[in-house]
Amino acid sequence: MKHSCVKTAIPGPKSAALINEWHQYEYDACGYQASVVWDRGEDCIITDVDGNKFIDWTSGVLVTNVGHCHPKMVKAMQDAVGKLINSYECPTEYRVKAAKALMEVAPKHMGKCFFFSTGAEATEVAMRIMKRRTGKFEILCFETGFHGKTAMAAAAGGLSGPKKGFGPTVPGVIRAIYPSAYRDELGFCDDGPDFKKYFNYLESVIAANSVGSLAGLIIEPYQGSGGFNFPPKGWLKALEKWARAKGILFTLDEVQAGYGRTGTMFACEHEGLTPDLITLGKGIGCGASISAVIGTEDVFHAFGRGEMSSTLGGNPVATSVVPVILDIIKEQKLVENSAKMGEYLKAKLMAMKDRCPKVGDVRGMGLIVGVEFVQDKATKEPATAEMIHAVIDRCAAKGLLVGSVGRYGNVIRVAPPLTVTKELIDESCEIFEEVAKSL
Ligand SMILES: Cc1ncc(COP(=O)(O)O)c(C=O)c1O
């Protein structure tokens, strides 16, 4: 049975009218998306206002890990909405249960958590904790990293988009290369397990840029917005060792990678990392506006009363879903499914690469796979924006929703909900290959 079904041109008439109306009132500063007005979501399927059905490879930007509108999640939110919508800093049963459930699955060395609303907020807080706890102000960050669009998060990011045109960024950021195999001009990736070349380079970056006030570092276990860049095996552990030797704090940004996306509950499990702080967002609420910072007992002592809370952070509606989502992940074995289906999906896309002249690289871990489009496989010249827009539009016309990321905007993100099945992968890969060959 086919799951996707497109009965109209894209956009369909209702979508076209709504997009037109939208543009009259709200400024469209969104990234390039298929011209589809979403109406309903059910598991891995999105239905638009014209009744077309699409397989979703976006998870609404890696958010809906348990599938769109999971009935148990919907019920939890509906119950909470009927009782209490906001409580600011006053604890609620929802908030207490959420914190308990989160700390039960958190890496064992962690002590406490605190809830916020967005990933960027979690980044800001983690960076402030690192500065306050150490009394220092420099943070090591990475090229092509992304941690959010607020001022300090944007400063920490290594992409120009969130910073361009806004003048000087928050001082104290020191930036180094994030090694990733496909575009590894300096040969950092094939130098394990010690990565001497990389750490010599890193020492020279610090020597040239630090004023002797290094507080910590913030890093993604794989770079999401930067183009699904995966570091070589063992490098993150080596970086953690380096940080420990320097006496600086280590924040792992799992806003995107956490909650089963990479085939383990948290990405830090792959290499047995023990970060001082982990930031979470996206999958923790699967669409509810919630993020969190998890930290060791020691780092949280940097903050006193009233110093971390925000108006909507940890509100009853958002926290109501946290234990429910964790139950769903456990009951439906979604971490295991992510690892298993991820292997299947990646193998299919790897095989496809050889058949498609414009697919330069396929890389991934669990249910996060990046397909990098190029103009020429030998030169690796990135595909143009027009080519990528054509992929997005043509996939939508055939019933598949995809989005793009990366420094050059040429990486298609393949990130369906963790509930995805073989059948859905087969159907969606068929559509994707047809489109990739049509370029
Ligand atoms: C790794 C990472 N950190 C932080 C953020 C910021 O999250 P938010 O958009 O919820 O502020 C994102 C968003 O894409 C992200 O991918």
Percent of the chain with pLDDT over 70: 100
- Confidence band, pLDDT 50/70/90 cuts, at residue 332: very high
pLDDT of residue 204: 98
Per residue in 214-233, pLDDT (tens digit) is 999 999 999 999 999 999 99
pLDDT at 240: 98
- What local confidence, expressed as pLDDT, does residue 425 receive? 98
Distance 75 CA to ligand 1 centre (A): 26
Cα 291 to ligand 1 centroid, rounded to whole Å:
10
Which ligand 1 atom minimizes the distance to the CA of 291?
10
Ligand 1 lined by 226 (C-beta under 6 Å)? no
Which one, of 427, 428, 113, lies nearest residue 293 by Cα? 113
Which atom of ligand 1 is the closest one to the Cα of 225? 16
DSSP bridge pairs for 293: 114, 279
- Going by pLDDT thresholds of 50, 70 and 90, the confidence category of residue 353 is very high
Q: Is residue 229 within 6 Å of ligand 1 at its C-beta?
A: no
Is the CB of residue 225 below 6 angstroms from any atom belonging to ligand 1? yes
Pairing of strands 249-253, 277-280: parallel
What is residue 283's DSSP assignment?
G
Residue 220 Cβ inside 6 Å of ligand 1? The answer reads yes
pLDDT of residue 313: 96
- CA–CA distance, 418 with 435 (Å, rounded to integer): 24
Under 8 Å between Cβ of 95 and 339: no
Nearest CA to ligand 1 atom 8: 119
**Closest ligand 1 atom to 118 CA:** 10
Measured CA to CA, the distance from residue 332 to residue 66 in angstroms comes to 9
Residue 43 CB contacts under 8 Å (≥ 6 apart), including other chains: 67, 68, 70, 417, 419
As beta bridge partners, residue 5 has 53
Categorize the per-residue pLDDT at 282 as very low, low, confident or very high, splitting at 50, 70 and 90: very high
Q: What domains lie within the chain, and their CATH numbers?
A: 13-66+333-437 (3.90.1150.10), 71-331 (3.40.640.10)
Work out the pLDDT band at 90, boundaries 50, 70, 90.
very high
DSSP string, 285-296: TBTBS-EEEEE-
- pLDDT of 195 reads 98
At residue 321 the predicted structure's pLDDT band, cuts being 50, 70 and 90, is: very high
For residues 364 and 85, give the distance between their C-alpha atoms in angstroms, rounded to a whole number.
Answer: 39
Q: Which of 256, 266, 268, 413 to mutate to test the pocket of ligand 1 (most atoms within 8 A of CB)?
A: 256
Helix or strand (DSSP H, E) at 363: strand 359-365
Single-letter amino acid code for the residue at 426? D
Indicate if ligand 1 lies below 6 Å from the C-beta of 258: no
SS3 319: helix
Which tens digits make up the pLDDT trace of 150-182? 999 999 999 999 999 999 999 999 999 999 999
| For residues 357-363, average pLDDT | 98
What number does the ligand 1 atom closest to the CA of 121 have?
11
pLDDT at 338: 98
Looking at residue 342, its pLDDT comes to 98
Tell whether ligand 1 has an atom less than 6 A from the beta carbon of residue 120.
Answer: yes
- Can you give the pLDDT at residue 402? 98
Least confident of 57-71, 224-238, 240-254, 298-312: 298-312
For 66-78, the pLDDT digits (tens) are 999 999 999 999 9
What pLDDT does 434 receive? Answer: 98
Q: What pLDDT score does 376 carry?
A: 97
Q: What is the mean pLDDT of residues 401-424?
A: 97
Query: Taking residues 102-127, what's their average pLDDT?
Result: 98
Q: What is the mean pLDDT of the chain?
A: 97
Does the beta carbon of 256 sit less than 6 angstroms from any atom of ligand 1?
yes
